[in-house]
Structure 1
Amino acid sequence: MAAASSLLSEDQFLCSICLDVFTDPVTIPCGHNFCKTCITEHWNINVQCLCPMCKELFDRRPEVRVNTFISEMAAQFRKSVQKKTSRSSEKQHAKPGDVMCDICTETKLKALKSCLVCLASYCETHLELHQKVTAMTRHKLIDPVENLESRMCKKHVRPLELFCKNDQICVCQFCTESDHKHHHTVPLIEEYEGKKAKLDKTKAEVQQMIQERRLKIEQIKRSVKLSKEDADRETADSVQVFTALIQSVERSLAQLIEIIEEKQKTTEKQAEGFITELEEEISELMKRSTEMEQLSHTEDHLQLLQSFSSLNTVPPIKDWTDVSVHSSCEGTVTKAVAQLEETLQKETERLCVHVELKKVQLYAVDVTLDPDTANPYLILSDDGKQVSHGNVRQNVPGSPKRFYCYSVLGKQGFSSGRFYYEIQVKGKTCWSLGVVRESISRTGNIERTPNNGCWSVCLTKEKGYKVDGLSVNLSLKSKLQKVGVFVDYEEGLVSFYDVDAAALIYSFIGCKFTERLYPYFNPFSNSGGKNSTPLIICSIHHTD
């Protein structure tokens, strides 16, 4: 019998209804064979009694009996199939997440293909059997998927092969002849490519949002660190100022420190809240990104289209563009000291300016002179740190950046943040220095005023120390030896300090900076040698 079974093709032992080896095979009048249970259930379901293979119609239900010959042959064949299956089962066992074979009755094996006609998935062995049945060779096979029923039109029981652009749903061929007759329909693959392109674009946007929020977290962390440093400096300065005052203000010192610490805690708490919220948004965006990543790599047209609407949107998130953490401690010392008793005011102001100068010196920058901007009569040192007026015009190339008046700019420009530098003016009888905006006129004798883009102070023979462009004379206790210039771009602040006396000379406040700012130097004419001493850009030495 085993020899005989080897002479027969494998599809002769398969029931065309269940696609498995015959179980209790019966032969119906037309000559075709089926499992007894399969043909019985088929006739129970259908009103007409006909053969599933050749469609021959019977007037009445035939009486069927088990064909013992075919049953024995099928049993022998089943054993051979089981041996073959056992040899490959180790490699084909379905794992979590795999699509399982719908035909396997015992150990479920991993499906290799799914049939859109049979609405079933097949492992390697059962796929071979499916392909051997002549009537099923034209069935459409796809990569294994679950829920095959969802791929069929519920109305026409036909594969969903088209996409209706009017109603944005998947339809079958029959739908285009009925409910969607005059609608614009395209093949699934065409709509799949378009939706996949949009999904990839949205996925890129989500990735960008994730990156922006990660950068915002780093920005907040840096802000917290700077805030902590500011708080530490404020605390140290407070101790220094109040220690120098009489015992009666020690209580104010303790209160001030407490305020600073509380403000810092508030800043840190606010930052922690921002970070937590950002991390939650990142988590949500990453989850959405993962889902879109998985969907963007699927070759399953229907799955992408059915999931597109729910995934091709960005989760509702907060706009973090204007969210930031700022130090809340700046200026705490000055404000607290201003409330002290009038008898301590002068000493307090002196100590506060001393502390303030130490703080602005932390923003010191290295400034060198730009020879391309220097008036031809100015002499610059080789290291770019000194400038003085000479009696002879220098042979220099023409440049639209060069000043007609006795002026020169620093090479370094600033369009944000804070910066500080110091200039030695010792021995000079006339000078002007400060900062100017980039677009300031370089032709003619420029008008050194804030309206013209120049914020500077000067020393002249006629009026002594004064503010350029304003009717403000500066009353100084001693002659200036070294001037410090501090700029806070965002705050619109330009301050000048007497470095040796640790005193504030003057401050421009409420300035509206919209351009890059450059350090400005004007040594004035040497006046026959009386003002030949150069302006010198100094290395910063912090005050004690």
Structure 2
Amino acid sequence: MATSSGPLNEELQCSICLDVFTDPVTIPCGHNFCRTCLNKFWTSTQTCFCPLCKETFSKRPDLMINTNSGVIMGGEVRMIKRALTHLEPHHRVPRLKKHKLINAVENLEDYICQKHERPLDLFCRDDQMSVCLSCTEGDHRTHNTVPIEKENREKLVKKKTDVQQMIQNKMKKIQEIQHSVELQKTNMEKEKSANVELFTNLIRSIERCQSELLKMMEEQQKAAEKQAEDLIKELQQEITDLKKRNTELEQISHTDDHLPLLQMHSSLYSRPHIKNWTENSIDTDVNVLPLHRALTQLKKTHKALNKKLSKSGMWVRYMDVTLDPVTANPYLILSDDGKQVSVGDIEQDVPVNPKRFDDYCVLAKQAFSSGRFYYEVQVKGKTGWSLGVARESINRKGDISPSPEDGLWSMVLINQRQYIACDNPAVGFSHRRTPEKVGVFVDYEEGLVSFYDVGSRSHIYSFTGQTFTEKLYPYFGPGHNDKGKNSNPLIISPVS
């Protein structure tokens, strides 16, 4: 019997010929053999026994046909034999060892050239398709072809490199965000300390003004009370004198001797020395001059505090943004109040100006070079737009390169659902919901530009770790009209 060079599963192998079963049978001890192999074995021996376990039988037993599903029979056996017979030289002959052996595939025709019926083991880089060796002698004779394994390996290496680069970029972005958070935390602690001191001084100033005011009012009250007390004493003394005079007059009125009375008339009837009290009164008004001085000092302190807070960047300016028609592309239509911009179908007759953009965009009139500011733009109903800030020296002629290196920090919507943050590298993503209003926040000193979905009060994207050295202008791009699908204007909205 033929033997196989490779190991076979014991369930499929006859232990006599060491080959795949042919007409397998089972003997009483339960072992399986080829019918022919077993008969030849027993013919060559004087007694019948199992070639494997050596169990002896008194007479030659009846052979049972093996119906075990684990044993391959019939045509399947012949197929395996042919496969093994074909495969055996490939493990032994040096020339055949170079042949490529692949795992079994479901659709073998997909791996065969339909034109030449040869294996598709080459790849044409010019036409980006798999070819066979005969193809390289025909239509692809002058093309750049390589073994398909090499092409696949190089593409996998490139894809792996790209993925690793993406991972590195994401990790770098995480590090930038973490650094920004740490920097912001450090700066915030400094600002907290500085502003606690500012407000402490303000509180002390208010308390000092309050103390001085209360002290002044108490002094005025005491002075008024002292004045009233003195006046009352003086009035009481005059009342006592008048009562005494009244008693004297009462006594004289009962005498009949009128001559002495008349002689005493000048002294008795003279009016006692009494002050004119009509001009005397208690001043009920409060002297407000010290109060005015205290409030004036308080206003100065408050003004100084506001100035320090503004410089520290703790306050955010809500910008009243208006569009600058001098910078607008000729196809853009601006509203009279400078709050809306859309794209028209006709180029307008506008003066030539070096500040005017060739691209479909426009800047605001307002610029800033310090502090924090924020504005909001309605984008409802639009399928495409771009928003952000641009430095003063941005190139305005030709197509704009939307990147921080070229002076533009922007976010773009395309095809109604796809958002792109024009960072380096650009970051594409799909937002959970379609914003109807976008908020743009900039911290000049921190190098931060952030975009927010105003409706959901959620963050969309942030440019971090930027360095600003010029004036920054709010930037607006309403996008192409798209046959009326994107005709809605961008609307600068008041911040609520």
Same fold (TM over 0.5): no
